[in-house]
Amino acid sequence: MKALLSVSDKRGLDKLGHMLSNNGYDLYATSGTAKYLASNGISVHPLEEITGFSELAEGRVKTLNEKIFEMVLSKKEGFDIVVVNLYPFKEAINKGIDAMVENFDIGGVALLRASAKNYDRVAVLSSPELYEWFYENIPLNNEKRKFLAMKAMEVIIKYDSMILHDLFNYHFSATIDDLKPLKYGENPHQHAWVGKLTGMPSLLDNVKLIKGELSYNNYLDLIVATQIVSDCGEGTMAIIKHTNACGVAKFRNDSLSTFQRALDGDPQSAYGGILCINDIVDGELAKVIKPHFFDLIIARKLLPEAINMFKQKKANLIEFEEFKDASMEWKISNGVVLVQEPDIGDAYEYMKVLTKREPTDEEIEDAKFGLKVVRYIKSNAIVLVKDGTLIGMGSGQPSRVDSASIAIEKSRKYGHSLEGSVMISDGFFPFADSIEMGIKNGIRCFVEPGGSKRDEEMIKLCDENDAVLIFTGKRLFKH
């Protein structure tokens, strides 16, 4: 029996080498691997006994040889086990183009593919993580060798995805790393998993689970929650329910009052939602949060006294680092793949006042804050902002005027005064009805992208009521 070994990652190789040798395998290895095995007292043949050469092309060719591949692909005899892991391309990504090119594996990938193709006879070990599985599953049968072949092909696909993404700047391939099962999906009868796109930045690398187990829906809310507080600045607090913000407050004075303002935005919807805090949570703040029911509490840092206090609650706990991903956004459903650039950049960069009255400094600040919030609210979104606080929100309605009506109704329901507030829309107002409704309820500042055939009608309406109309020229629609 023969085994071929050619590895960059030598973790666990000494144990594997001893095990194979003690079980009657003749070991053949490339120069670096052979040297390592010999240094651990393991008998090994240099691969050049078969190929007739050690290395070619300044070390770029080690295993590309017809005799090697004949022994891997033969249906009758040859190598029975192939142990190959690939050049460390991932570690070379931050070292520049030359490093990536030199860590672009050719022979290793070819050996993995050949071994996988011949899984009827050959067992292929494509990573050190498989060694323990190998020990526990001896003797191997056809199904077990097929599993190893599948893992080898998975390694190849992910490896090539990294090369495409980082060396060639090609963003239109998707494979998944670290895929793990969840309790269930959106509903208990649906199976679900979570993972990371290979070679791409991932929010999952920037979060740390302190307590609990996240659900499918928790992950969806986590993405929105961390995005919105990161965009709105340090100290911001947001309460998310079903991926929509029902309470957001910019930091003012202290964390305790900031939390209360976020909660007051819509205290009813906040129940059972996600609380995200772009700040440190100490014992004092935790004491104020504790009486309220949140399914997930997310913070930049949870101090030990806060963690101890929250351990008595059912809430899951997470710490996060700021994550602003500029890579492509993917949506996959029913075999349809949609890819788009992320919606980034300040929406207030080109704000233009169309009315006679200029906005006050307070209205400008609330307009900027509202534009950061509205881009994370679902379609036909209307938000009402006052003093750096979300005081009303309408979303997901087929009609924009319905969203405006809901936002105003919710604001009044929870006792917020609309005098001095700002209404921000994610898309242009097609008719004057939403602005008319706002004016009747005391709102005197409106922000929208502009672009309606009736823009002039709305400008006139605002001028007649000493109101401000601001165009941004940028739609912030989230479907």
Catalytic residue, candidates 242, 290, 301, 460: 242
CB crowding 358-368: b at 16 or more within 10 Å, else e: ebeeebbbbbb
Rounded CA-CA distance 236/252 in Å is 9
Provide the pLDDT confidence category of residue 56 given band limits of 50, 70 and 90.
low
Amino acid letter for position 220: L
Tell me: the pLDDT tens digits for 316-354? 999 999 888 777 888 888 889 898 998 988 888 889 999
User: In percent, how much of the chain has pLDDT > 70?
Assistant: 99
**What is the reported pLDDT for 459?**
97
Above 90 in pLDDT, residue 314?
A: no
- For the chain, where do the domains classified as CATH 3.40.140.20 start and end? 208-320, 352-471
The residue that leads in pLDDT, 234 or 328, is 234
CATH class of 208-320: alpha beta
- CATH architecture label of 352-471: 3-Layer(aba) Sandwich (3.40)
Provide the pLDDT confidence category of residue 59 given band limits of 50, 70 and 90.
low
φ/ψ (deg, to 5) at 366: -70, -35
- For the chain, where do the domains classified as CATH 3.40.50.1380 start and end? 2-167
CATH of domain 2-167: 3.40.50.1380
Rounded CA-CA distance 153/116 in Å is 7
**What is the reported pLDDT for 58?**
67
CA separation, residue 134 to residues 4, 5, 141, 251, 367 (Å): 15, 15, 12, 55, 61
β-bridge mates for residue 238, sequence order: 248, 276
Q: What separation, in Å, do the N-terminal and C-terminal C-alpha atoms of the chain show?
A: 60
Q: Are 16 and 44 in contact (CB under 8 A)?
A: no
Amino acid letter for position 5: L
- Please indicate, yes or no, whether the overall pTM of this predicted structure exceeds 0.85: no
Tell me: the pLDDT tens digits for 247-298? 999 999 899 999 999 999 999 999 999 999 999 999 999 999 999 999 999 9
Provide the pLDDT confidence category of residue 311 given band limits of 50, 70 and 90.
confident
Catalytic residue, candidates 117, 171, 196, 460: 117
Examine the residue annotation and report whether 117 is marked as an active-site residue of this protein. Answer: yes
φ/ψ (deg, to 5) at 120: -60, -30
**What is the reported pLDDT for 51?**
83
Our separate counts of H helices and E strands in the chain read 18, 21
Average pLDDT over the chain, rounded to an integer: 93
